[in-house]
Amino acid sequence: MYNIYVCGVGGQGIIKTSVIIGEAAMKEGMNVVMSEIHGMAQRGGAVSTEIRIGDVKGSIIPDGEADLVIAFEPLEALRAIPKISGGSDVIMNTSMIPPFNLVNSLHPYPPVEEIVGALNERAGTVRAFDAERIAVEAGHIMSLNMVMLGAAAATGKLPIDRDVIMDSMKENLPSGLLDVNVRAFNEGFGEMMK
């Protein structure tokens, strides 16, 4: 059994990334169960998916049982802490998208360094990097999700072959945007190899 928690905000491609992971795992003959939670129905609302691979009965990852957390946004990574344990690996984009309720309040967005510190207290490993910058350099900011997927694949923690993930990307992404997304995936992969 392998549990993957993917989180971020609306518009970042969390669900598309999760579908690619799930379909790739099914291509490898694995049982996959997935759930998704949408926040506000507009860009900026919290979105998370839970992908469970293997012999599982339910779609919700019990607290403390996420093997891998892919966090597209730092504050959403912080919200994922209950899912994390000492055996969890966390990959986090450091680019912030402050939620609407925080923007209009007196509470400041926590410094990214504090978020990384809180994650390090709980997780086995934490890799935090500026995936947004890499996506822009790869050709388009909207390829951030493929940067994150590439980073996840590079950890060796996804129980799915890289080539199978690439096949699933080709089947699930618009052909006109495939080149930039493959480039973003490869750049994210390379970032984890540094």
* pLDDT band of 42, cuts 50, 70, 90: low
Q: Which residue has the higher pLDDT, 40 or 96?
A: 96
8 Å CB contact between 74 and 112: yes
Q: What is the pLDDT of residue 98?
A: 83
pLDDT band, residue 157 (cuts 50/70/90): confident
86 Cβ partners below 8 Å, 6+ apart? Answer: 122, 123, 124
Confidence check: pLDDT of 41 > 80: no
Angle in degrees, 0-180, between the axes of helices 14-27 and 144-154, rounded to the nearest 10: 40
Range of weakest confidence among 26-30, 102-106, 170-174: 102-106
**CATH code assigned to 2-193:** 3.40.920.10
Q: Can you spell out the DSSP letters for 65-113? A: --SEEEESSHHHHHHTGGG--TT-EEEEE------HHHHTSSPPPPPHH
Residue 190 in contact with residue 181, Cβ under 8 Å? no
Report the pLDDT value the prediction gives residue 101, as an integer from 0 to 100. 66
Cβ–Cβ under 8 Å, residues 26 and 32: yes
3-state secondary structure of 5: strand
User: What is the Cα–Cα distance from 2 to 91, expressed in whole angstroms?
Assistant: 16
Instruction: Tell me the pLDDT band of 158, cut-offs 50, 70 and 90.
Output: very high
Q: Residue 100 pLDDT more than 80?
A: no
Closest to 50 in 3D by CA, of 34, 64, 30 = 34
Q: What is the DSSP string of 109-148?
A: PPPHHHHHHHHHHHSSEEEEE-HHHHHHHHT-GGGHHHHH
